[in-house]
Structure 1
Amino acid sequence: MTDLLQIAGLARSTFYYHCNTTQRDDRQSAMEARIRVIYDEHKGRYGYRRITAALCSSAAEAVNHKCVQRLMQKMGLRALIRTKKRSRRA
């Protein structure tokens, strides 16, 4: 492998960096699918906090809320926000 990297003119760290990014993309695409399922299941009412809680309770591994928030922003998912009711007293 070192011969191939020398011929290509690449550092060994570059090879491992690209290997790790492809693995990260695979994990993120799986996470996006799970987020989409929960979001659609609850008709878009869940925000990133509740989706994170649902993912953590259902999965064996913990999920960071920042990761869920970033992926939801990337996919364009937003929670439906209910309007507050105002009293009409005069």
Structure 2
Amino acid sequence: MARSVFYYHLKRLNVKDKYAGGKEMIKSIFHEHKGRYGYRRITAEMRNRGFAINHKIVQRLMKQLDLKCQIRKVRYRCSVVNYR
């Protein structure tokens, strides 16, 4: 391994997480709404709370945190008015 690569990786270990506060807020919003909010609604909620963040970053952080929203089941709707 090249010396420069070794020291590059050594320096990267001491870097603080840039989105630590954002991750905590994403987790709290996600669990607050019982896992029903996806990245779009979480982004909107964070902006309502005064936290300016891009939707792509929220999507990436949710993937890192392994947070996946529940998908609602589509119910069948009969098109006939007096079916029964």
Same fold (TM over 0.5): yes
Looking at secondary structure, tell me which structure has more helix per residue.
Answer: 1
In the TM superposition, residue 31 of structure 1 has moved relative to its aligned partner by 0.8
% identity of equivalent residues: 39
Unaligned stretches of 5+ residues in structure 1:
1-8
1:1-90 pair list within 5 angstroms: 22-23=15-16, 25=17, 27-59=18-50, 61-87=51-77
Unaligned stretches of 5+ residues in structure 2:
none
In the TM superposition, residue 86 of structure 1 has moved relative to its aligned partner by 1.1
Number of aligned positions between the proteins: 73
| Superposed CA RMSD | 2.4
Separation in 1, partners of 2:22, 2:73? 30
Q: Alpha-carbon deviations, 1:16-75, whole Å to 9, x = none? A: x85xx824x1x312111110000000000000000000101102x421000000000111
TM-score (norm 1): 0.67
The higher relative CO (CA closer than 8 Å, separation ≥ 6) is in: 2
Moved over 2 A (4+): 87-90
